[in-house]
Structures are given as C-alpha cells and as structure tokens.
Structure 1
Amino acid sequence: MGSRLVEQLGAHNAAGVASTTLADHIKALILDGRLTVGERLPSERALALELRRSRSTITRTYSLLEQDGYVSRLHGGSTRVALPYENASPASEQNDSAIDLSIASMDSTPGLYDATVRSLPRLAALRGTSGYSLRGLPELREAVAQRFTERGAVTSADEIIITSGALSALNLILATIGRRGERALVEQPTFPHAIEAIHRHGYRMIPTPVDVEGWDTRHLSETLLGARPHIAYLIPDFHNPTGATLPDDVRSRIVTTARNVGTHLIVDETTTELDIDRGWAPAPMAASGPNVITIGSMSKIAWGGMRIGWIRAERALIARLLAVRPSFELGTALLEQCIAVELLADIPALTSHVSRRLQAGRAAVSSGVATMPGFQMPLTPGGLSAWVDIGAALSTRLSLAARKRQLILPPGPRFTTGGVLERRLRIPITLPPERTAEAMQRLSLAWDDVREGAPSHTMHLQHAAVI
C-alpha cells in the first residue's frame, strides 16, 4: 500500500519533474491542508522507490522543504510536516490584506437581524427546558420537512434531525452507518472536507468523474454495479465545485441502482438553493427512493455563522442516528434554531437575495477571467463558484504564485482524491464584486508570474479551510 503523501500528490505529478517542482507540489499539499502539521512523511529511500526516482532527487526535495520550513528532520530519524512560523495565527487573521478564495461563502442575508429579533420570544419560551435539543426544535423540523415537500419529496418532521451544520450531519451519518475498510464512491472533483471525513472513517474511495457538462452517468452506474460501494456521496444540485446539476431521469436511475446493490446514497443539498438562472428545478433525489440520506444547511442561504444543518432519512435510520449522537454532541444551539425558523418562513426572500449576490459575483469573476490568456469560464448557472479551465496543467504552480500576491486560492487537485485536475481552479462567486475584482487582479499578476517562469515563492501563511 502506498504512502499517504504519494496518494495525495498523485504519482503522475512526480514523473520526471525536478526536485524544486516536486517540493512545490508538496508545499501545496501542506498549505491547503491535505498534509497535516506533524504528519510523518516517508523516508527518502521509501519515497524514491515509490516514485521511481533517484534518492538524490528526493534528498534534494526534502532539503528544499526543510530550508523553507515546511518539514522538520531528525538526523537518522523521521521527516515530519511543519509550517513556517507555525505558531502564527491563521492566514486570514494574520494578514488583513490577503484575500482568501478558499472559502466560498457569502456574508449574512439582510433579514438576519430582524429574524434574530423576532426569534427572541421563541427562545425565551424555552428557558424552562433543559436547553438540550437532540432531535431539533419541532417547529424547525416542520419547516425543513415542509420545504422538502414543496420541492417534491413528501416529508414529515419525524424524518428530520437538526444538526450543527451539514459537515456535522455527514460525520454523524458516517459514525452511525460507517464501515471501516469498505468502499465509498465519491465524485471527482468534490467538496474536500467530505473527502477528509470519509477517509477519516476508514473508507476506500472510488472516484467517478464530474465536469461542468455533468456526470459520466455510465461510469457512475457501472461503478455502483461493479464495486457495490457501501456508501456514495453525491452533490446533485450546483455541484461543488463544477456547478453541474444532475438531470431528473438520471437521479431516479442512480437511486434505483444504488438500492439494488445495497449502497447508502448520501446526498449533499447544501448548494441546492443557490440558483441564478438555471431555468428549471429538479426534484430532490429523496423523492426517488427510501435509500437516500439527505443533508442540508442554512450556511449558504443565510450565513456561515449560523451553524444549522439537517438530515432527512427513514425513521429507522433517524432512530439509529439519535442513539449515536450523544456520544459526541448533545444537540444544536437553540438560538440558531429559533432564528432558522423565522428565516425559513420566507424562503423566497432568502433565495432572491442569494441569486442577486451570486449573479453579481459571477459577473465579476467572468470579467476577471476574460483578461487572462488561456482561461475559460463555464456558464455557471448557480452554485458557489466557477470551475475555471486555465488551459494548462499549472494549477498548483499558480496557487503557489498567488500566495506571493496575497491571494489564497486552492489548486484543482485540492478537490480530488489523487492529485489530478491540474488544469482547473475553483474561483468563488460569493464575494462582493469589488473584492472579487481585486482578487482577480492579483490572480492575473500571479498568472503572469507563472507564464513568465518567475519563481513561485510562497507566503508564510497557514492554510485555510476550503468551504
């Protein structure tokens, strides 16, 4: 079994490259969190054998990393991941002039303050209770269930659990039904923190390709039939990061195929409501079968600071989830739940605001992309970001060069399971247009640096989470 370094790096990224380029690739893995501080790296001899490179190349690579502070080495001992100035605060706090494009999230909806004020009597009425909310407030579960029903998947409140965000929901599901050593089908690319969660629960991941044009549905179906994975994690609406939407007829076929082979479908609907001008609204995958476990969140339509998510599942699974949940969480904050009840009472206002903001952000990214030779931006009818083709396999080099320009931008491979998609960048369309315009100017300068062959020195910044 290969090392985690090579798994994240992708052996093809090391084929024939110089030690300086290999060191840059490893820096990128460290800076965007795919390798963690303190993690042990393979020995020089083991890595040379695994990559089929000379030991002198690997020795030089590790020396460059040590020189720049990205690894610490003990003579005759181990090599471990480090960060320059690793005791410093995170990048977004350390340097106010840096623009962080690793987070694709908007500021709060204008209605958040009023909703908070309206929620206070509801919160006050709960003061006589224990304050713990393992299943979630009945009013909020009813509101979430109603939204599913309106979209075409008839749902009752007892099929809903309220969680502290969608990622918390995913981890609760994996803690409940997870099986270490089993296969998990994941899209390539996909949400990086989902990859990390699935990996942490011991799954062996099998990728299925997605691009801006959509899914390779034959590959997806054949992988389900052939590999019979225990779980499959899908983002069918405004897929993160490609923006693609899975057609209705394909949804029902995938749900049926998964049910026939015994695969639990975990459907992430975090981005479902982020429509700009798609022109049609598919039914939830939950409408196609009982084997679908759906997770959702308020973070993209209201505010990331509202840690409210949910799980929709069969009642039997809901009972299992509730039995497991107290082992790591005793419920979701009541204030946020009370606010969410108020916000969900006017979904059209929420989605209308989101659509306007995303449309402005998309226009700003499109204007910036148009100035960069070789870049191509897809239509992007909604979602969090544009999955931009940069025209050459230089995503990691560009990401490193961007840091020199005070721009934090994860490369395409950050969204994959094996270091591929070097031609792609995920550029959020969620920032205010003026901030996006500044970010695109910095990206253009970094792209000039890469095209002119300038050294891609990195800022000494800690990695930021990709959201």
Structure 2
Amino acid sequence: MPRVLTARAVADLVAPALAAESSGPAYGRLTEALRHLIADGRLPEGSRLPSERDLPGPLGLSRTTVTRAYTELRAQGYLHTRRGSGSVVQVPDVPGGRIDHLLTPSALSDGAIDLTCTAAGAPGGTSEAYGQALEELGAYLPGTGYYPGGLPVLREVVAERFTARGLATTPDQVIVAPGALAGVAIAARALLAPRGRVLVETPTYPNAIATLEGAGARTVAHPIEHAHDDWDVAGLGRTLRQSGARVAYLIPDFHNPTGALMPAGQRAEIGRMLRAAGVVPIIDESIVDLPLDGQVVPEPLGRHVPDAITVGSVSKSLWGGLRVGWLRVPRGRAADMAASRLKLDLGVPVLEQLVAARMLQAAPEVLPQQQARLRAGRDVLLAGLREHLPDWRVRVPSGGMALWCALPRPGSTALATAARAYDVALAAGPNFAAGGGLDGWVRLPYVLGHDQLEQVAPRLAQAWADVLAGRVSAGRDDRRGLQPVEPRIIA
C-alpha cells in the first residue's frame, strides 16, 4: 500500500519554494519545487501525491497550474499516474547509482583516498587490551568456547553502561553479536513477518537497508530534514499511521550519514508515537560514544519505548577489527531474540569478547583519544571545503564520523565516477536513500589522517569541475573511459 500524502502536508513542504522570489510561471515553480523534494528524498519513492483536484486549495493555486506541474513531472520521469491509483512518486533511473544500497568503491591505487568507509584506526591501549585478554583466556580453554549469548563479563559491562546512561539493564537482557549490523539482522528476523513493513529514515546507513531487505522486509521511507537536527515528528506520526509498519529502524545518536543528534524532547515525543502505534523500534546506537564538542548525549531513546531493541558495537567508537556488538532486549522478547541469535552462529570469539570488555571498561580513558582525533579531522575537512568548494553546503555535525554535504545541483553519482580519476573513492548519495533520490548529496568521512584529509577538497574540486563541465556522466568518465565496478560491502 503506497504512503498517501495529504494535500496540506505537500503544501507545507513546497510553501518555502513558492514563497521565494523567482521568475517564471507558477506551474514551473511548483514543478521545480516538487522535483527537488523528490530528488532530495523528502517525497519518498512510492508515495501517492494528492489528486489534482485536492492540492490547489491548500496551495492557493488553480487546478490548471497543478495539472500542468503534474504533467511536467510525468514527462521528466518523477511521477507515474494510473487510473484508480493516483499519481505515485518515482525516481528516474541513475546509471551507476544506487546498487542494492551497498557502497561501491573502485579498486584503489597507492596514494588513493578511500572515503567510502566510516571507521577509524584502533586507539592507544588496544595492544595492551589484547595482552590482558590473552592472560585471561586460559580460564576459558577447558570449556567448549561456545557462548551464543556472550561472555558474562562482557554482558555485565554492557548492561552497566546502559544503566549509567539512564536505561536500567541487567546482563540477562544483553545478547552479544558479531557487530551492530548482525544485531539488526537478529532483531529483524525475530520481529518481522514475511514481507512485513519496516520504517527507516532516509537517508540512512546503506548496509542496514540491505540487511532489512535481506530479512524479507519492505522498507517505508521517512525523510529527515538534512539541514537541521529535525526528525519531522509530525511527519513521522503520519507515516506510522498510514504505512502499516510494525517495526522501525532509527539512528537517533549522531545519525549516519547526517550526523544529527535527536533532542531529548523529540525522543520523548517519538517514544509516545511508537508506543501508541504499536511499533517496535530497532535503535542503532553504534555512534553514541562519539560526541565531539563536549555535549552530553540525551538519555537513550529506548527509555521511552519499553519494547525497543537497542543495538550497539565497539566497531565505530573503538576498532572495527574487533567485530563485537550487542543487542539490549526487553525481557518479554528475550526468548525470541535468543532463538533468532542461534540461527546466525554459535557466538563471537572468546578472545575478542575479552578484549572488548577490557576496552569498554577503559572507555573513559580511551574514548577521548578517538573523539579528539575525529574532531581534528572534521575541522581539517571543513577548512578544505570552505576554501576549495565554498558553494557546497554542510551543517557542522556535533558528533559522529562524517560530513553530509549538499551539492549545488544533483550530481553525486557523476561525482563518484569523476573522483576515481583523482584517486578518490566516494559513496554517492543514492546509496543512502531508502526512498529514492539524494543524488544532490555526498557523505565525506573525516576518519583518515590529516595528510589525506587535506587532499580531499582539492581533489574533489577538480572532479566537481569535470562534472559541471559535462565531461562526466553518472556511469562513465568520458575523458578517461572509467566504468563502474562490482560492489563490495563496507562500513
């Protein structure tokens, strides 16, 4: 069932563009406003627009104006109308763009810059943690080594961390998994019926979309406001009521890719909405430990939804090589989650669990290192963009690992192709789109060393100049003959 957008909701979205001073006929301005909202993912693919009879009133325009705008959108491939089904949003195909939501870097040469992955190197003290874990390992060797739910020591540490943040948790509510993405898979398989609907933000983490769809889910996109920390609470409520989704996947803490941090007030309000709609959220807290400006992160969203599943890991905040994550589950769902966990594997390696426990215990000393490294990298990358690409718009994130940049015009996919000629691997915006669009956005991680980050903006400026000059299309660099490559899964 397509999501139905009310005439008032659409009118509110296009009002700023219609109110702005601009030349041209009214139908042209309405066409451009709607096209921009579709390309930006704020009118998700598959949504049904109001009829040509219902929309004119809230817009204060004539029916003829709305009809001409719809006609233009159909001709451009942004709208499909069928008798009895109304006018449904669609996104024109972008050659080489979104490929099963998996990020697609090219083969990299020496000296190339890989901006497809948001993962930092291991912090100081990692080797020492491994040494300590090796000393502890002997006590576990007489046993089988199978701990599907996780080592007690690690579950205790994780439970204590949740409790300290305001979400009371006991070790029996923690299930250890090989990363947060595995936690999402475990939860999705336990919660979703075949072809069940799951609400996801757009943009969002590409591999989470692939994981949810791999579990048989049908995703329902909820656009978030890219320029502000705004989850559009009213719009979320409408989507929950109309979509029939019974599960939601949300990233409230330094959202990937926008870096947005959900305010405390919104957490309480969204929690009420989820409870009222009977929707179980899978809350991804993978980046919760990475505030960069000294701010206090609000209490967990899971505190406002007793039935929530919260997933986390050490991969982003500490080191991806550990491959240790977890689920925090309500007691009423513990049996279902445990059964789903056993369908994945028989447990995370004992040594890595011991290392993770050690590093989490040392987090007050270790995390400031990571935060300082990321803060410095963020500032280096921002300075480069201001100098070399001043017309790119970016809201400075207060945490996380990447910038989410708005390009002056759509062309993210073409930019990813062009950038390979300058030895830069990018993830184009459509990879992050749950509802289509986002070719006007690009994610730029600041996890690399300063020497590499200082080269990012100059190289991208050259690539962007090639795009603007028409030397590069979405799927091919006409000057160099480069072609898209096969996808591989990365962070």
TM-score, L = length of structure 2: 0.77
Task: Flag the 1:275–1:14 CA change in 2: closer, same or farther, 3 A.
Answer: farther
Q: Does 1:376 align with 2:393?
A: yes
CA contact (8 A) 2:159 2:171 kept: yes
Q: Does 1:236 align with 2:305?
A: no
Task: Flag the 1:171–1:115 CA change in 2: closer, same or farther, 3 A.
Answer: same
CA contact (8 A) 1:136 1:331 kept: yes
Choose from 6, 26, 30 the match for 2:95. Answer: 26
In the alignment, residue 76 of structure 2 is paired with which amino acid? A
1:395 equivalent in structure 2: 412
Choose from 426, 442, 446 the match for 1:409. Answer: 426
1:181 aligned counterpart, secondary structure: coil
Task: Flag the 1:408–1:34 CA change in 2: closer, same or farther, 3 A.
Answer: closer
Q: CA deviation at 1:31?
A: 10
More displaced stretch, 274-283 vs 423-432: 274-283
Q: CA deviation at 1:360?
A: 1.3
Q: Does 1:449 align with 2:462?
A: no
Q: How well do the aligned residues superpose, as a CA RMSD in angstroms?
A: 2.7
Which segments of 5 or more consecutive residues in structure 1 lack a partner in the other structure? 36-89
1:15 equivalent in structure 2: 76
CA–CA distance in 2 between the matches of 1:241 and 1:373? 21
Q: What is the correspondence of 1:44-443 to structure 2 with a 5 Å cutoff?
A: 91-92=106-107, 95-210=109-224, 211-213=226-228, 214-277=230-293, 279-370=295-386, 371-443=388-460
CA–CA distance in 2 between the matches of 1:466 and 1:15? 33
CA–CA distance in 2 between the matches of 1:421 and 1:156? 41
CA–CA distance in 1 between the matches of 2:335 and 2:97? 42
CA–CA distance in 1 between the matches of 2:274 and 2:196? 15
Cα offsets for 1:175-231 (capped at 9, x unmatched): 222212222111010000111111122222211121241211110122223334110
CA contact (8 A) 2:389 2:457 kept: no
CA contact (8 A) 2:377 2:447 kept: yes
In the alignment, residue 413 of structure 1 is paired with which amino acid? P
CA contact (8 A) 2:98 2:430 kept: no
Q: CA deviation at 1:108?
A: 0.6
1:190 aligned counterpart, secondary structure: coil
Q: CA deviation at 1:325?
A: 2.3
TM-score, L = length of structure 1: 0.81
Q: CA deviation at 1:24?
A: 9.2
1:87 equivalent in structure 2: none
Cα offsets for 1:133-155 (capped at 9, x unmatched): 11101110000010111111111
Cα offsets for 1:394-419 (capped at 9, x unmatched): 11111111122221111111101233
CA–CA distance in 2 between the matches of 1:259 and 1:176? 19
Q: CA deviation at 1:239?
A: 0.5
CA–CA distance in 2 between the matches of 1:258 and 1:439? 41
Q: CA deviation at 1:322?
A: 1.5
Task: Flag the 1:216–1:113 CA change in 2: closer, same or farther, 3 A.
Answer: same
CA–CA distance in 2 between the matches of 1:176 and 1:14? 43
2:49 equivalent in structure 1: none
CA–CA distance in 1 between the matches of 2:75 and 2:439? 13
1:232 aligned counterpart, secondary structure: strand
CA contact (8 A) 1:212 1:244 kept: no
2:291 aligned counterpart, secondary structure: coil
CA contact (8 A) 1:31 1:462 kept: no
How many equivalent residue pairs?
A: 404
CA contact (8 A) 1:412 1:426 kept: yes
CA contact (8 A) 1:172 1:325 kept: yes
CA contact (8 A) 1:109 1:301 kept: no
Cα offsets for 1:222-256 (capped at 9, x unmatched): 22233341100000010001111111121122222
Q: CA deviation at 1:349?
A: 1.7
In the alignment, residue 200 of structure 1 is paired with which amino acid? G
In the alignment, residue 487 of structure 2 is paired with which amino acid? H
CA–CA distance in 1 between the matches of 2:110 and 2:126? 26
